[in-house]
Structure 1
Amino acid sequence: MKIAINCGHTLEGPGSGAIGIINESIETRNVGERLIRLLKNNGHKVINCTVDKANTQAEYLK
């Protein structure tokens, strides 16, 4: 099976998510990378669609 994963949130700027006790964009990547490894180890083709930088929230969502 082919699966596309977007770990969510840019690393900084528009769309970067909450930063406080934890940095949401870093934590979503940690979870996403573990999920990608798990899926690949189970024979799936995984495409990482994570966006690291966008100039606006609309650009990120596009």
Structure 2
Amino acid sequence: MTRLLAVSALLAASLALSGCIVRTAVGVAGDVAEGAVNVTGAAVGAVIPDGDDDKDKD
């Protein structure tokens, strides 16, 4: 009986915490993707001028 209670408690805990683990993994993946996009955007902005300097010539 004690073993059944322990197994059911472990099962319940694993099901309850699995959502937290998935949410954390998705959040980390989103942060990594956002960082990659920011770095790529900065690199493209450094290579390709966007014409902001035209405002200073007036």
**Bigger Cα Rg:** 2
The structure with the largest helix share of the pair is 2
TM range (shorter): 0.3 to 0.5
Q: Which has the higher contact order (CA 8 A, sep 6+)?
A: 1
